Amino acid sequence: MEKEKRLKRARQHIFSLGLYDSGAKIAIQVMTYGLAKIHYLQEYLGYKPNAFFLGAPDLTITRNIYRFNQGIGYGGIISWGEGTDSFIPVDLKPNACGMLIGGVNTPKSCTELIQALEELKNNPGKIEGTNIKWDFNKSNHFINFFKVIDNHNLPPYLFVIHGAGDEFRGDNNGQFGLYIDKSKILKSKVHTLKTPFGDINYLIGEDAIEYFKFYQNVEKFARQRRIHVAHHLFDNFLLITDQTHQGLVGLNEIILGCHKFVDEETLFPLMLRADRPGYLIKGKFNLTEKQLENLEFKARAKELDIYHRLLRANILPHGGGYNFPDLLDIEEVLEVNENRYYKLKTTSGMGSKIVQHLRALPYEYRGQQVLNRTLELGLGQIYATLIPLFTLKI
């Protein structure tokens, strides 16, 4: 199959519930290349080329350079099988990132919390023999503190601990890590397939199953880690919810910067910007037959034979996601020495920006429009509104 036909096929397998801004538009074009690679791998392994990407209302690009260059978007679900196909593309880089929400009746002062954080940072401790790495001052990880309104018997103050399982990205005590660009042992296990869109790295058979089981253990560790921090900061707190938004939810599915739910009672955090309210939301069973028809997804999904996997995907945003206020869209993709370079349209209409990734470009976090999009599509409902008091990145 010609390269352009493969890209067209991949684009047909992308379904977006996102906004129509530069962050979402660029993510869709970037994801087209990543999905085309997964389709190529599926064909090579003897499977139907039916991997798809479903973008949430916070659909955007990833600022992780490796993942971006592999053609992976952010703020959505990637599905590449029925859950029984024993292969995993490891370029997706799951990391068990999530947010714990806890409640307290009496707030601690900023000084008290900083002191407690400094103590913990200097002596993070261990969980089941593994030294904890400090990551709450990195990337978009944080500890937030809120006052609750329309509280539904919640405590008057809530805190959010946003962190992952950094300890297991690279090799650890002879065990492979989650990240192919940080784990030599993992790299020695993977197979690499050359595609017209760049290499794709994957595990197959028992190695894929072992990787998935290892990921599940890392997710358990990441939850324990967030609980560990919460106990150090607050003497008494009520655990409200602790939800992963970046990790494997099966052997053939990953959530990257979004939530997937199985009931309508579980609470999920939606954290937008430090200067905007946060929310606790409940999901409504979504992407029903009627919703798929309204979104004009139904006919395409049936034609592609993925309707049953897309139906009731039950997806929610986890945050605001990145937008690029001075950019409109990708004007052209340039390929030089097997590398992709993106020629970006600017909002001024004058000049273009040509980049290999967007890590160094100015960005902003979206605000209320992500929540509005979620409510407009009937994906979920607000349970409680959280008024920000302060954010700690220490």
DSSP-assigned letters across all residues of 10-50 = HHHTEEE-S-SSHHHHHHHHHHHHHHHHHHHHHHHHTS-S-
**Residue written as tokens 């660029």?**
26
Question: In this predicted structure, what is the pLDDT of residue 139?
Answer: 65
Question: In this predicted structure, what is the pLDDT of residue 105?
Answer: 95
Q: Is the distance from CB of 155 to CB of 101 less than 8 angstroms? A: no
Per DSSP, the residues of 310-324 read HTT--EEE-B--EE-
How far are the Cα atoms of 122, 124, 142, 147 from residue 134, in angstroms, in the given order? Answer: 9, 7, 11, 26
Question: In this predicted structure, what is the pLDDT of residue 67?
Answer: 96
Q: Is the distance from CB of 24 to CB of 61 less than 8 angstroms? A: no
306 SS3 class: coil
Question: In this predicted structure, what is the pLDDT of residue 279?
Answer: 97
Between β-strands 352-355 and 258-260, what pairing exists: parallel, antiparallel or unpaired?
unpaired
pLDDT in tens, 306-330: 999 999 899 999 999 999 999 999 9
227 SS3 class: helix
DSSP secondary-structure letter at 229?
H
Question: In this predicted structure, what is the pLDDT of residue 297?
Answer: 97
Alpha carbon 296 to its chain's center:
25
Per-residue pLDDT of the chain (394 residues; tens, 9 = 90+): 799 999 999 999 999 999 999 999 999 999 999 999 999 999 999 999 999 999 999 999 999 999 999 999 999 999 999 999 999 999 999 999 999 999 999 988 899 999 998 998 889 899 988 999 887 766 667 789 999 997 788 999 999 999 998 899 999 889 999 999 999 999 999 999 999 999 999 999 999 999 999 999 999 999 999 999 999 999 899 999 999 999 999 999 999 999 999 999 999 999 998 899 999 999 999 999 999 999 999 999 999 999 999 998 999 999 999 999 999 999 999 999 989 999 999 999 999 999 999 999 999 999 999 999 999 999 999 999 999 999 888 7
Question: In this predicted structure, what is the pLDDT of residue 134?
Answer: 80
Tokens matching residue 393: 């990145």
